[in-house]
Amino acid sequence: MDIPAKLASLPDLPGVYIMKDASGLIIYVGKASSLKKRVSSYFQKGDHDVKTRVLVKNIDDLEYIVTDSEIEALLLESALIKKHKPKYNIRLKDDKRYPYIAVTLSEEYPRVVFTRRIARNGNRYFGPYTDARAARGLIGMLNTTFKLKTCAKPIPLPPGERPCLNFQMKRCSGLCVGRIDRDDYLKIIDGAIGFLEGNVDPTIGKLSVLMQEYAHTMQYEKAAGLRDIIADIRALTAEQKVSAPVGTDQDLVAVTVHRGEGVLVLMEFRAGALLGRKVFIFENAEYSTPAAMIQAFLLDYYRGGDVPPRIVVPEEIEDRPSVEAHLSSLAARKVVVSTPKTQDDRGVISLIRKNIDVLIADRDSARESGDRAKGLDELRDLFALDDAPSVIECFDISNTQGTNPTASMVRFRDGAPEKSGYRRFRIRGFDAPDDPGMIHEVVSRRIQHLLNEGLELPELMVIDGGPTQLRRAVEARDALGADIRIISLAKRFEEIYSDSGAAPLRLPPSSTALRILQQIRDEAHRFAVTYHRKLRDASLTRSFLDEVPGVGDAKKRLLLKNVEVPERIKEMSVEELAAIPGLGKKAAADIYRHFHREVPE
């Protein structure tokens, strides 16, 4: 596996990452609020523990599933660990010692706690979990969301004793200080149990009724506390899409066509839990429709007979009755192929599309990376470089009739922008336009700086211009004795001139080398124009317009935006000035009068 490329393609989104060894076996499953940051941390130098070092040594490939929230990632991580039992997630071989979440109904004021032992004591147990960290994370979220009792403080508190820090931080419901009584607290515990069972809406309904009762009896502080709990539960579950109705076995499928490929993702639910994501790529997809691709996929994918009772597709397929009959015969029971019918269905289909978008972005990035490598190799061959150029710098001059001349330099590393290496130059000593002379100055200044500071020299310099600009750049380089190849790119015919003196090159539009040169040239131009406009704006505010009565900064900016050469303002007629949107006839007349001492009839 190309680790750097894989890490570079990771999205900055929550999700679950799946690490595999050389045989394709899943050896570790983890969750992250940012897949890019978390997975990258494994491959950074640092004080990793022994397990992490051994894990990283055995990683041969990794996959990931994007989720819509951290809680969703947590629950999905737990489900995948239960299914695959990865080597580096599991600590205990005896299933009786796996972690459980216990609701201590045997206590007067129940808590939600972590345990490894099941006892017949009236407590409710949820699990087992194969990953203790996942179980503890879920407990923490339940305690925070439902504001449950977590401390050992007596209820009620003895006189003079203060409540714990959780109360002060509004993380508990204040049982010990009488903010809520036992009966109402037990209703909140019922809500936590309902949440663990997957019954969220009834929980919110019960708590809402209790909140209204508090409000009607003017117990506003208690009502506000329940309001916050309800809001937290809704926030926790608002975007929870990797779940299905309890006990449901179903697959959900969606596909997107991009650049001639069909990218299809299937999410597999068993007993209501998402067990995994599968990705399939179709070639020549531009000749088909999403519905036709999905239909062909269903007939091929389920040939082995492991067919769930329900398959959800984003749109109606053409031969649905025939497909259902065929799949039902394979499964020896009724199979339904359905479009999304519920909000849960639509939520999962939306999540699948989000995963597809990320996959497409990854594939595009990998394709662009390959194109860049190909283009750099082509540049090496075209200009007889020792190696593919790692660092390329490009220069562009920007000025308006010789005023405010500036130069920009952009740096590309391995074919991609390295913005920390961008530089701007203010050019002085030129009273008239002289692009070749200005190129000579900035190339000389740049090379001199790199040599003086002992900094990395580019393998290739690109000048925006023709042979004249190139010649002056080469003169600057030769005067300093730098070993840098220099070429120029003339925009009219995209001709490439080189310092070898060879005839100009015209590469075909399909050339990846030409695309790299065009990209770096256009980026240098954009960077130069942005800087020049900034200086021009500043110059205008200190220009001849300062003396025009009634023309403030806003009018100056308006004129600059609409008149490319500021000096032309002095020659414009009243009608031309008045035609500038937002300027107005009075201001137009004032400007004309200032420069002409009269306004024509």
Give residue-wise pLDDT tens across range 300-354. Answer: 788 766 789 999 999 998 778 888 988 998 888 999 999 999 888 888 899 899 9
pLDDT at position 170, please? 74
Residue 565 CB neighbour total at 10 angstroms = 10
pLDDT grade for 387, boundaries at 50, 70 and 90: very high
For the chain, domains (ranges, CATH) are 3-84 (3.40.1440.10), 95-237 (no CATH), 250-359 (3.30.420), 391-537 (3.30.420.340), 541-596 (1.10.150)
Top-confidence residue, 444 or 5? 444
Does residue 272 or residue 310 have the better pLDDT? 310
Distance CA 178, CA 224 (A): 15
pLDDT of 486 higher than 80: yes
Helices (H), 104-199: 132-146, 165-168, 182-197
Q: How far is CA 72 from CA 14, 75, 289, 373, in A?
A: 9, 5, 32, 38
> Tokens 């750099």 — which residue?
376
Q: How high is the pLDDT of residue 96?
A: 42
Which pair of structure tokens corresponds to residue 447? Answer: 């090379």
- CA dist., res. 386 & res. 26, Å (int): 42
Tens digits of residue pLDDT in 430-445: 767 788 999 999 999 9
pLDDT at position 53, please? 84
Q: Which two tokens stand for residue 327?
A: 């799949």
Q: What pLDDT, on a 0 to 100 scale, did the predictor assign at position 233?
A: 63
Q: What is the DSSP letter of 243?
A: B
Residue 294: strand, helix, or coil: helix
Q: Give the 3-state secondary structure of residue 52.
A: helix
Q: What is the pLDDT of residue 272?
A: 74
More confident residue, 225 or 382: 382
- Residue 58: helix, strand or coil by DSSP? helix
> Rounded to the nearest 10 degrees, how much is the dihedral formed by the CA atoms of 247, 253, 254, 257?
160
DSSP helix/strand/coil, 219: coil
Q: Name the band, by pLDDT with cuts 50, 70 and 90, for residue 92.
A: very low
Name the phi and psi angles at 244, rounded to 5: -135, 165
Contact 596, 582 (CB under 8 A): no
> Which pTM value belongs to this model?
0.44
- Which range, of 180-194, 274-288, 411-425, 525-539, averages the lowest pLDDT? 525-539
CB-side neighbour CA atoms (13 Å) of 110: 24
Residue with tokens 């004021």: 109
> Cα 538 from chain centroid?
36
CA distance between the termini of the chain: 79
Angle CA(120)–CA(123)–CA(126) in degrees, nearest 5? Answer: 105
Most distant pair of Cα atoms in the chain: their distance: 103
Contacts 24+ apart (CB under 8 A), 559-564: 559/583, 560/536, 564/400
Between residues 191 and 366, the one the model is more confident about = 191
Indicate if the alpha-carbon torsion angle 146, 152, 156, 158 is positive or negative: negative
The pLDDT mean for the chain works out to: 82
Give 3-state DSSP helix, strand, coil % of the chain, rounded to 5. Answer: 50, 20, 35
Interatomic CA distance for residues 149 and 185, integer angstroms: 9
| Each residue's pLDDT tens digit, 497-514 | 999 988 999 999 889 999
Least confident of 119-123, 196-200, 575-579: 196-200
Cβ atoms 14, 36 nearer than 8 A: no
Count of beta carbons in the 10 Å neighbourhood of residue 383: 20
| The predicted structure's pLDDT at residue 392 | 96
